Amino acid sequence: MEQKKKNKQAEDEGKEPQTLLEITYKDMAGKGIKRARQYLEKVFGVSFDSVKEQWDEINALAKLRNSIVHDDGVARENIEKDGKIRQHVRDSRIEITNHAKNSYGRIVIKREYLDAILPDTVHFFTNLEV
């Protein structure tokens, strides 16, 4: 807010407004949570080193979310290539129904998956190094 006031004052005085940050979110490559991570790292100096495993889990969750939202719940090949998702399938936390060699199945998320991902998500946010 303070920067906005200074920029407004500069404009009123016919001066060029200052840029508080050299990088904007629009300047970041990629999309989704990867883009958000890049922004946090470059602009705010956030380190993801201490939460790497949880970050991988959150990436897998994002892939599941995207398949549910954008692919009508169908598991495309990128879902099954993710090691975290494969492990959850082996542990019966996620099921891919009607899966055959040349077709994709539907994603079924079981309560056990939610029970597993919630502590990882909490750990991620409490241990993120700012």
pLDDT digits (tens, 9 = 90+) for 17-67: 665 556 666 777 888 888 889 888 887 889 999 999 999 999 999 999 998
Looking at the structure, do residues 22 and 61 belong to the same domain, yes or no?
Answer: no
Looking at the structure, do residues 105 and 122 belong to the same domain, yes or no?
Answer: yes
Looking at the structure, do residues 41 and 59 belong to the same domain, yes or no?
Answer: no
Looking at the structure, do residues 73 and 99 belong to the same domain, yes or no?
Answer: yes
pLDDT of residue 108: 93
pLDDT of residue 116: 93
Looking at the structure, do residues 15 and 59 belong to the same domain, yes or no?
Answer: no
- What total number of domains does the chain contain? 2
**Res. 2: pLDDT tops 90:** no
**Res. 13: pLDDT tops 70:** yes
Looking at the structure, do residues 129 and 76 belong to the same domain, yes or no?
Answer: yes
79, 75, 82, 83: which is closest to 100 by C-alpha? 75
What confidence category does residue 102 fall into, taking pLDDT thresholds of 50, 70 and 90?
A: low
What confidence category does residue 103 fall into, taking pLDDT thresholds of 50, 70 and 90?
A: low
For residues 130 and 45, give the distance between their C-alpha atoms in angstroms, rounded to a whole number: 7
Q: Which domain holds residue 93?
A: 55-130
Cα–Cα distances in Å, from 76 out to 6, 7, 32, 64, 119? Answer: 49, 47, 18, 10, 27
Mean pLDDT of the chain: 84
pLDDT of residue 124: 95
Looking at the structure, do residues 70 and 130 belong to the same domain, yes or no?
Answer: yes
Looking at the structure, do residues 42 and 73 belong to the same domain, yes or no?
Answer: no
Looking at the structure, do residues 67 and 126 belong to the same domain, yes or no?
Answer: yes
Looking at the structure, do residues 22 and 83 belong to the same domain, yes or no?
Answer: no
What confidence category does residue 1 fall into, taking pLDDT thresholds of 50, 70 and 90?
A: low
Looking at the structure, do residues 35 and 78 belong to the same domain, yes or no?
Answer: no
